[in-house]
Structure 1
Amino acid sequence: MMINVHGGDIYKHKDVIDFSANINPLGLPRGVKIALMDSIDLAVHYPDVRCEELCKSLAKYYGIKKNYILCSNGAADIIFAITAALKPKKALILAPGFAEYEQALHAIDAKIFCYRLKEEQGFILKEDFLNAVTKEIDMVFLCNPNNPTGEVIPKELMMRIIETCKKNKTILVIDECFISFLENGAEVSVIKEVERYDNLIVINAFTKLYAMPGIRLGFAAIGNIKMIELINKVRQPWSVSVLAQKAGVAALEQKEYVAKTKELIRDERSYLMHELLECGFQIYGSKANYIFFKGQKGLFDLCIKEGILIRDCSNYRGLEEGFYRVAIKGHEENKKLIEVLKRCQNGRNKE
């Protein structure tokens, strides 16, 4: 089992430029800041346990029924609730992949099977994954785009996976937390498919796109009402604060902010990938708001000495030392990252 270590640990690593957490470089939208300030006095009340206003906004935004939505204290909250409620005995995950799936499955003593994404295949999910989804598998976790690789599962293959899971009576949980950073994210997403497939759960969060990880807000779309009832039975009440609910409603109105985000990420991804390749690094996937690459061992520590925090991916299942992930930030910060990486490559870093 991988060690529970994540990016964004600015509390341990102080006074650094943080490239380890994949957060929108535009920062918290102004409209969300205003909503938070305007609703601060509402904090004297208990939150709406049903998140009615937020669920209504999410339903309109994604074009699904309001009663199919469960709001949560971040994506991790709903992941743990899903496993605790549905209690899969055998589950299938990708390696490398997001740590919380495995952690949540271990918490209920599920037997975990891993489909290993191969470096020689660019860490791309292949069609033989369908063979791994056998009738004995109770639950499958997928992340699209995948974390940490940033590789996208094509819609056609994803639909075949959904069909295979349905045929085998397997619950399929798809994490789409980074999908909004794709140019064609709406086309790749399968969130609307929950209305057709009662074995499908789609997870998303406000964390990355709206730069609000400290607020903690996520949700799941589930077309199976009985499944929703089971999940609600294991959840604590009032898990989504008043402020988080108001922030979420305001965030969904930030269309210009999202458009600017996609433009910035597209331009800066191109810049970073070009520069990283020039430095001699091997890049894989990287279609979201982060770059996944292979470089020299010890690069994490060298960057820390230079005031740069990158994500060392060696603790991901299926990866070894030398794999890293960096968030796409603003141009000046990205230039600083490249300068530091060049110095590290040339052995001229600070002692």
Structure 2
Amino acid sequence: MQLVHGGDWAGFETEYGRSPLDFSANVSPLGVPQGVQDAVKAAVAAADRYPDPLCRKLAGHIAEAGNLPQEWILCGNGAADLIWRLAAALRPQKALLPAPAFSEYEAALRSVNCRIRRHFLLPEKDFTVEDSFAEAITEQTGMVFLCEPNNPTGRTTPMPVLEHIMTRCAAVGAILVVDECFGDFLDEPDTHTLVPWLKKYPNLVILKAFTKLYAMAGIRLGYALCSDVELLGRLRMAGPPWAVSTLAQAAGCAALREQPYVQSVRALIRTQRPFLQRELRRLGLRVVAGEANYLLFRCRTPLIQPLRERGILLRSCENYPGLDDTWYRTAVRTEEENRRLLAALKEILS
């Protein structure tokens, strides 16, 4: 079976009998914080009870951390769960997506027979979203998805353009969904978020997740923010009531206390991203100037299988609309791991 996403460590282990060095999934390279591990172990004793379907304790902690009303928060089984709930609950007839972008937006929308318009981002402009995207929002557009920073390009949209998009969506009555799951890896995440606009724009839905920053991909935990409480209620009713397990709720509460860990991750990415970008360019590769914990680059030489044979997983981007099999995405990991990737690439390309 051909998988859509990266992170297929299980397939590698089945084939090779060992664990890979995984650059195909963009999660913190520092592993699950110890405090989160301890919280999950402690929560096992309460696993005989159903989890709180409203995630009240966790939502309260998220509200306190973000200085937000608790009723503006809906927790889910990862951001992907919330993306599919949005499509199922609102069932837009037409939607606008940037391309390339995270594939779950289109998959969820197609499941409800939504007609999708792709707005292709230009490689010669490093795939930056421009005002032309806002101008593509019409009276018939029911939903718009954006990813900030975008996956797989790692690029953010200039704030004036985001304001133009918000204004345009409000004018035509479109729901604007902004995926900020990788926003925590930006050098200044507080300066590039649409959270301050939630009150002004009740049609704005922001998605966030614990997956990336806290290396909690296997726990499955994310949340949606929206000032339209009725809309969040519709999302809640669009899926099973116990979407977030007791263990995941405990993990989320613990993660929000892991500020030293967060500082360490951000410091690592702030150092290693420019290092990896520079060294990839020294190998003669075209690298998009990403701003998160991953980099998009182009290489005419096939890389997936040769790296796999060397115990390394890389994300091919050939299944992203607007890209082909010469584009790859790599996570930014520790210096030792990044050097191992670079050494393997140098060997393959020599």
Please report the TM-score for the alignment, with normalisation by the length of structure 2: 0.96
* Matches of 1:126 and 1:220, distance apart in 2: 25
The residue number in structure 1 matching 2:95 is 91
Summarize the alignment of residues 251-266 of structure 1 with structure 2, pairs less than 5 Å apart.
251-266=255-270
**Residue number in structure 2 paired with 1:320:** 324
- Contact in 2 for aligned 1:63/1:192 (Cα 8 Å): no
Aligned runs of 1:128-277 on 2, under 5 Å? 128-277=132-281
3-state SS of paired residue (2:202): coil
Question: Unpaired runs of 5+ in structure 2?
Answer: none
Q: CA deviation at 1:30?
A: 1.0
The code of the aligned residue for 1:184 comes to E
State the partner residue of 2:299.
295
| Alignment RMSD (CA, Å) | 1.0
Structure 2 contact 21–311 (Cα < 8 Å) conserved: yes
Write the mapping of 1:72-83 to structure 2, written as runs, cut at 5 A: 72-83=76-87
Pair 1:30-2:23 in alignment: no
Q: Answer whether contact 1:293 1:325 (CA < 8 A) is retained.
A: yes
Report the Cα distance in structure 1 between the residues aligned to 2:259 and 2:139, rounded to whole angstroms.
42
1:52-98 deviation line (CA, Å, top 9, x unaligned)? 00000111111211001000000010100011001100000011000
Residues 301 and 349 in structure 2, CA contact (< 8 A), matched pair in contact too: no
SS in 2 for 1:160: helix
1:173–1:200 CA contact under 8 A, matched in 2: yes
Contact 1:152–1:285 (8 Å) recurs in 2: no
Equivalent residue pairs, number: 344
**Is 2:58 the partner of 1:54?**
yes
The structural deviation recorded for 1:226 is: 1.7
- Would you identify which runs of 4 or more consecutive aligned residues in structure 1 move more than 3 Å? none
Q: 1:329 aligns with which of 328, 333, 340?
A: 333
Q: Distance in 2 between matches of 1:85 and 1:50?
A: 18
Equivalents in 2 of 1:285, 1:174: separation in Å? 21
Q: For residue 155 of structure 1, report the CA deviation from its aligned partner.
A: 2.1
Please state how far the C-alpha of 1:4 moved relative to its aligned partner: 5.5
Mapped contact 1:313–1:321 kept (Cα < 8 A): yes
Q: State the match for 1:349 in structure 2.
A: none
In the alignment, the residues of structure 1 paired with residue 284 and residue 163 of structure 2 have an alpha-carbon distance, to the nearest angstrom, of 37
**Contact kept? 1:79, 1:104, Cα under 8 Å:** yes
1:345 to 2:349 alignment:
yes
1:129 deviates by 1.1
- Measured at CA, do residues 4 and 109 of structure 1 come closer, stay the same or move farther in structure 2, by a change above 3 Å? farther
Amino acid at match of 1:339: A
Contact kept in structure 2, 1:171 and 1:199, CA below 8 Å:
yes
Q: Deviations over 1:290-323 (max 9, x none)?
A: 1110012411112112111100001111111110
- Tell me how far apart the structure 2 counterparts of residues 228 and 332 of structure 1 sit (CA, whole Å): 43
Match of residue 44, structure 2, among 40, 46, 49: 40
Amino acid in structure 1 at the alignment position of 2:307:
C
2:8 equivalent to 1:9: yes
1:200-230 CA distance string (max 9 Å, x none): 0000110000001100000000111221122
Separation of aligned partners in 2, 1:296 and 1:278:
15
Give the distance between the partners of 1:207 and 1:287, measured in 2 at CA: 18
Rounded to whole Å, the distance in 1 between the matches of 2:134 and 2:86 is 23
Percent identity at matched positions? Answer: 41
Counterpart Cα distance in 1 of 2:75 and 2:31 = 22
Letter in 2 for 1:7: G
Contact 1:93 1:142 survives alignment (8 Å): yes
* Residue 286 of structure 2: aligned partner: 282
Question: Please, which runs of 5 or more residues in structure 1 have no aligned partner?
Answer: 347-351
SS class of match (1:100): helix
